[in-house]
Amino acid sequence: MYSAHFNDGFHMGATDWGWGLLMMVIWALVVIAVVVLVIRGVSGGFGKQGEGEDSLAIAKNRYAKGEISKKEFDQLIKDLSYK
């Protein structure tokens, strides 16, 4: 008797193509996520590179604008572990 559904490895039905496409998308997302994590890891982490310099620059700018006093500036430098 003739069957309308071929499952001999040479013919794929519509649902087989759908699952295959879904798996390709999932694997592509996994590969992209791994690449992003590796690049972030190699480049110094998740935004932590240069964080100390940024806080020092902010303290210097606030002191230069007169927003904080010399005493407050010195305390910020001490708190940020700069010497």
Specify if 79 maps to a domain: yes
Range of the domain at 80: 50-83
Q: Is 55 found in the same domain as 81?
A: yes
Specify if 28 maps to a domain: yes
Provide the pLDDT for residue 63: 92
Sign of CA dihedral 58, 59, 60, 66: positive
Q: What is the pTM of this model?
A: 0.41
- Number of structural domains the chain divides into: 2
Series of mean pLDDT values for 10-residue runs along the chain (83 residues): 56 70 94 92 64 77 92 89 61
Q: Is 43 found in the same domain as 55?
A: no
Q: Is 54 found in the same domain as 30?
A: no
Give the pair of three-digit tokens for residue 37: 């994590």
41 three-class SS:
helix
Provide the pLDDT for residue 18: 79
Specify if 23 maps to a domain: yes
